Chain A
Amino acid sequence: SAVISQKPSRDICQRGTSLTIQCQVDSQVTMMFWYRQQPGQSLTLIATANQGSEATYESGFVIDKFPISRPNLTFSTLTVSNMSPEDSSIYLCSVDETQETQYFGPGTRLLVL
């Protein structure tokens, strides 16, 4: 199975600032996904990141707020822009080795004050 790492593992940020989260995979993958998990809640898909093209965002998420980069087949970044306390969540990246199963990173725990 793919090994996924995320940086930072956690951060505390001031409102109005931006944070870029990195996701690194130990093998080349076609698609990477970014999810958000608010405290005590389930996971919600933010966007799908394909290498060489713009990310595809889910309803309720926009590129200006959550810009994504996917420069190669093993790496992606998610930026949380102009943060507010409502952005306090765990942000997870994932990849799928088969079409039916995904592997998740450990998550980035973000607290916005």
Chain B
Amino acid sequence: LAKTTQPISMDSYEGQEVNITCSHNNIATNDYITWYQQFPSQGPRFIIQGYKTKVTNEVASLFIPADRKSSTLSLPRVSLSDTAVYYCLAVGTGRRALTFGSGTRLQVQP
């Protein structure tokens, strides 16, 4: 299983762009990079997934360089409601259960 490493915590202010970088040096060829968001007292929620280059949806963008050893989740113009823990996972088609790392606790200030 590919181990992911991400910052323990980050602080930001409303309206700023937040970039959370995840390191996954041993990612397998068939692994997808997947990000989940977890608010207090709730289960994790799928945000975005990608294999390489750039993926964008209504919530975030995900940048994965050609070597796939790292990835960056970009949250445009964060608001207070984006305060949450963000988990980066390497998800392979061979194993359907998820392995969560420690996550990044994002605190957005007014």
Rounded to whole angstroms, the CA-CA distance of A4 and B88 in the bound complex is 22
9 contacts between A and B (CB under 8 A): A42-B101, A42-B102, A43-B100, A45-B97, A45-B98, A58-B97, A102-B46, A104-B45, A107-B42
Residues of B within 8 A of A104 (CB): 43-45
Would A103 and B93 count as touching, CB distance under 8 A?
no
Tell me if A76 is interfacial: C-beta within 8 Å of chain B: no
Tell me if A99 is interfacial: C-beta within 8 Å of chain B: yes
Would A106 and B43 count as touching, CB distance under 8 A?
yes
Residues of B within 8 A of A81 (CB): none
Would B93 and A92 count as touching, CB distance under 8 A?
no
Interface of A is mostly: strand
Tell me if A64 is interfacial: C-beta within 8 Å of chain B: no
Number of contact residues on B: which range applies? 20 to 34
Return the chain B residue nearest A104 by Cβ.
Answer: B43
Would B100 and A44 count as touching, CB distance under 8 A?
yes
Would B41 and A43 count as touching, CB distance under 8 A?
no
Interface of A toward B, CB cutoff 8 Å: 4, 31, 33, 35, 42-45, 48, 58, 92, 94, 96, 99-107, 109
Return the chain A residue nearest B49 by Cβ.
Answer: A100
Q: A58-B97, A107-B41 are in contact. List 13 more A-B contacts (CB 8 A).
A: A33-B97, A42-B87, A42-B101, A43-B98, A45-B97, A48-B97, A92-B43, A92-B44, A100-B32, A101-B46, A102-B44, A102-B98, A106-B43
Residues of A within 8 A of B102 (CB): 42
Residues of A within 8 A of B56 (CB): none
Residues of B within 8 A of A100 (CB): 32, 34, 49, 91, 93
Would A45 and B43 count as touching, CB distance under 8 A?
no
